[in-house]
């Protein structure tokens, strides 16, 4: 029974972590476009926004 003293807080903390992770994701707009997110993974050969300078070259290579 003593193990409950550790296990219950651990369970609650883990649950709370998940809850806060979800609330953060919601706040940062990750749930705004569920349809788009589902489809975007199909186009992953795209260069991310940060690398847009190299994009044309990379794309040309991808076509080959």
Partner 1 sequence: MTAPQAAGDIGTGPGGACLHCGEPVPQGSAGGAQFCCSGCHAAYEMIQGMGLESYYQRRCLDPDQPSMRPDDEDTRFDFQAFADTDDQGVTTLHLMVEGLQCAACVWLIETVLRKQPGVQHARINMTTRRLVLKWNANEADAEQLIGAVTHLGYRLAPYDPSLISAENQQREKQLLRAMVVAGFAAGNVMMFSVSVWAGKDMGEFTRNSMHWLSALIALPAIAYAARPFFHSAITALKAGRTNMDVPISLAVILASTMSLVETVRMSEHVYFDSAVSLVFFLLIGRYLDSRARGRARAAGENLMGLKARAVTILADDGSREVAPPERLKPAMKFLVAAGERIAADGVVLSGESDIDTSLINGESVPVQARCGEKVFAGTLNLSGPITVEVTQTGEDTLLSEIVRLMEAAEDARAKYVALADRVARLYAPTVHTLAASAFLGWWLIAGLGWQDSLMIAIAVLIITCPCALGLAVPAVQVVAGGRLLQRGILLKTGTALERLASVDVAVFDKTGTLTRGTPQWVNRDAISEDDIHLATSLAIVSKHPLSRALSREVSGVPAAEGVEEAPGSGLKLMTADGEVRLGRRGWCGVDEDGEHAEAELWLARPNAAPVRFAFSDQVRIDAAQTIAALKAQGIDVMLLSGDRQAAVAAAAKDAGIDDWHAELKPADKVDRLSALAEQGKNVMMVGDGLNDAPALATAHVSLSPSSAADVSQTAADVIFQGDKLAPVLEALHVAKYADKLIKQNFALSFAYNAATIPMALAGFVTPLIAAIAMSTSSLVVISNSLRLGLGKGFTLKRQTDSQSNKPVQPAAQKET
CB of 25 within 8 A of CB of 31?
yes
Closest CB 22 distance from partner 1, rounded Å? 6
**Residue 15 vs residues 9, 20, 26, 42: alpha-carbon distances, Å:** 10, 9, 17, 32
Q: Helix, strand, or coil here: 27?
A: helix
The only residue of 3, 28, 34, 54 in contact with partner 1, by rule CB under 8 A: 34
Residues lying near partner 1 in the complex (CB under 8 A): 1, 4, 8, 11-12, 15-16, 18-19, 22-23, 26, 31-36, 39-40, 42-43, 46, 49, 52, 55-56, 59-60, 62-63
């Amino acid at each position: 029974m003593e193990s409950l003293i550790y296990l219950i807080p651990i369970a609650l903390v883990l649950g709370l972590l998940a809850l806060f992770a979800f609330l953060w994701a919601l706040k940062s707009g990750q749930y705004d476009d569920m349809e788009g997110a589902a489809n975007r993974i199909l186009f992953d050969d795209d260069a991310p926004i940060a690398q847009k300078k190299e994009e044309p070259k990379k794309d040309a290579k991808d076509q080959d």
